[in-house]
Amino acid sequence: MTASTAPRPVRLRVAPSPTGDPHVGTAYVSLFDLAFVRQQGGTFILRIEDTDQARFREDSEQQIFDTLHWLGLNWDEGPDIGGPFAPYRQSERLDRYTPYVDRLLESGHAYHCWCSTERLAEMREAQQKAKRPTGYDRLCVGKTRDERAALPGFSEIPVVRMLIPADFDTRFTDLIRGELNAPHPDDQVIVKADGFPTYHLAVVVDDFEMGITHVVRGEEWISSTPKHILLHQWLGMDLPAYAHMPLLRNPDKSKISKRKNPAARLTWFREQGYLPEALVNFLALLAYPPKEDGREVFTFEEFVADFDWAKVNPVGPIFDLDKLGWLNGHYIRSLDCDELAARIVGHLILTGVLDPAPPPAQIELIRAATPLIQERMQLLSESEGMLAFLLVSDGDLVVEDDARAQLKDDADGVLDTAIATLEGLPQWTATDIEAALRTALVEGLGIKPKFAFTPLRVGVTGRRISPPLFESMEILGRESSLTRLRSLRASL
Ligand code: GLU
């Protein structure tokens, strides 16, 4: 079986099911879809496959929109923006499948099956016991409803099954993997007893009606593809090309799942403070080689320019968060400071550390402190701890226990001298603060810098580790810095 060679405008889709937090695989497939679509001047479609009522989650669709937009993986047609092939939500397309089913029934490619679930379970059990291949035994094939009703294990409401030919050729060509062969399938149910189409029918009809030229999806669908090809052929539809993306794996090689690994959830990356451009680069690298010179950092545009299905590595990539952390740190360091400050503010709003509309003074403090922390962060979320001292009032600053434990017996004397020095300092700049404190504490009291400055760091930031001390004091201001130092002194 080969794909049609007729030139058609390139149209690719991603078809997530809204079953909870969006899966990272949805972004991964969308990215590879988009790379090809943008290279070919084609169209990218978002279709929501929401016919599995039992697993449907109300807010999931919005989360799919939000996380894909956040990543810049934008679609040209979809349920929120419409398009020439609307509706793009499967639940709104239910009446469209019936004529196709009727045609399959009339041509004898499909048949009604009235077997009860109990009968099917017994049949399967018997097959397993006898170590025979499991599969529907075709009791209903060629029977009218009345003929079948006369036999045991009858259920009033039938399903519709595909009549898979015995000599069915299950080979097909995959853009990534070349020639593939899947096991001979069972007579696939295409309409359930509740009248809903199964995924297998709906995906074929929707892909056809939406003019999809390339079906890109996870490798778990390889065994279904011959059935889909058969449906296309029976219905006289142009065949799309197929590309099955390698499954993302946990470090133990198991398939990445939302139950076992938080990193399977797209919202998690946002909450953790990964940058969308870093995640996009990482998702590309999972199945695509670095540049010829070994460079692993590349933009979406570079990815598009170079994109070739034949270069996609079919071996399931391990989801390596250390690598992503490294990439994220790289992207954080390469951002312009104001842009990074804006991202930090956005992150702190998202995680509820800041109000949705923070006061301008708070934003200004973050902007001023951003250059101090830019080199020290891998994740935006790390800014929260590093900037906390700037975002609390002097009275609310908590000196952490491990910070207090750093104080030596001479901390009171150090603080007294530091406070007196800083009170009389003519200019409140990091350079002046540092020079004056070195003179007073290191030279004057003869204390090593490390010990001289620890009580100041603890007093001003409440932490053992902080951004550079003198710059932090400059940003915090003289009044707050002194208030905090006096308060630590009073607590000794
Ligand atoms: N709804 C399916 C999924 O979420 C789509 C598979 C396909 O793209 O055909 O995996």
Element (H, E) at 227: helix 225-234
The string of DSSP codes covering 199-253 is HHHHHHHHHHHTT--EEEEEGGGGGGHHHHHHHHHHTTPPPPEEEEEPPPB-TTS
Residue 221 Cβ inside 6 Å of ligand 1? The answer reads: yes
Does domain 397-491 fall under CATH 1.10.10.350? My reply is: yes
pLDDT, one tens digit per residue, over 205-243 is 999 999 999 999 999 999 999 999 999 999 999 999 999
Given a cut of 70, is residue 271 above it in pLDDT? Answer: yes
The three-state secondary structure class of 115 is strand
Return the residue whose CA atom lies nearest to atom 7 of ligand 1: 217
Extents of the domains making up the chain: 1-77+201-332, 335-391, 397-491
Question: Which among 484, 438, 428, 436 has a CA at the least distance from the CA of 460?
Answer: 484
Question: Is any ligand 1 atom within 6 A of the Cβ of residue 217?
Answer: yes
Tokens linked to 273: 């403070």
Element (H, E) at 306: helix 300-306
In the set 131, 258, 311, 323, the catalytic residue is 258
Question: pLDDT tens digit string along 315-367?
Answer: 988 889 999 999 999 999 999 999 999 999 999 999 999 999 999 999 999 99
What CATH number has the domain spanning 1-77+201-332? 3.40.50.620
Closest CA to 160 of 227, 111, 203, 201: 111
The atom number, within ligand 1, closest to the CA of 29 reads 8
Predicted TM-score (pTM) of the model is: 0.92
Instruction: Give CA–CA dist 265/66, Å, rounded.
Output: 13
pLDDT at 2 (0 to 100): 52
Identity of the amino acid at 311: K
CA distance 235 to 309: 28
Report the C-alpha gap between 339 and 346 in whole angstroms: 11
Ligand 1 centroid distance, CA of 54 (Å): 16
Assign 3-state DSSP to the chain and report helix, strand, coil percentages, each to 5. 50, 10, 40
C-alpha 173 to ligand 1 mean position (Å): 19
pLDDT tens digit sequence for 376-412 = 999 999 999 999 999 999 999 999 999 999 999 999 9
Evaluate if residue 3 carries a pLDDT over 70. no
* pLDDT score at 55: 73
For residue 25 and ligand 1, the question of a CB distance below 6 A is answered with no
Pick from 273, 298, 268: nearest CA to 283? 298
With vertex at residue 456, the alpha carbon angle to CA 329 and CA 446, rounded to the nearest 5 degrees, is 115
Average pLDDT over residues 119-147: 96
Residue nearest atom 10 in ligand 1 by C-alpha distance:
16
Residue of 12, 200, 221 to mutate, ligand 1, most atoms within 8 A of C-beta: 221
Ligand 1 pocket member 201 (CB < 6 A): no
Structure tokens at 292: 């010829």
What is the best residue among 89, 90, 203, 215 to mutate for testing ligand 1's pocket, by most ligand atoms within 8 Å of CB? 203
pLDDT at residue 41, as a whole number: 97
Contact assessment for residue 77 and residue 33, using Cβ atoms and an 8 Å cutoff: no
- Residue 242, classed as helix, strand or coil, is strand
Residue 4 confidence (pLDDT): 52
Cβ(49) to ligand 1 under 6 A? yes
The number of the ligand 1 atom at minimal distance from the alpha carbon of 26 is 4
Q: Hey, whose CA ends up nearest to atom 5 of ligand 1? A: 15
User: From the CB of 203, is ligand 1 less than 6 Å away?
Assistant: yes
What's the pLDDT band for 292 if we cut at 50, 70, 90?
A: confident
Rounded to whole angstroms, the Cα distance separating 285 from 281 reads 6
The residue to mutate among 199, 207, 214, having the most atoms of ligand 1 within 8 angstroms of its beta carbon, is 199
What DSSP designation does 191 have? Answer: E
Quote the tokens at residue 53.
């009522």
Report the nearest atom of ligand 1 relative to the CA of 13. Answer: 8
pLDDT classification of 10: cutoffs 50, 70, 90:
very high
Please give the Cα distance from 195 to 109 (Å, whole number). 18
DSSP label at residue 406: T
Contact assessment for residue 33 and residue 25, using Cβ atoms and an 8 Å cutoff: no
| 467 Cβ below 6 A of ligand 1 | no
Per-residue pLDDT at 58: 76
Q: Give residue 316's pLDDT.
A: 85
**Pairwise CA distance, residues 36 & 305, whole Å:** 9
Distances (CA, A) of 420 to 413, 425, 437, 461: 11, 9, 10, 19
Residue 18, ligand 1, Cβ within 6 A: no
Is residue 260 flagged as an active site residue? no
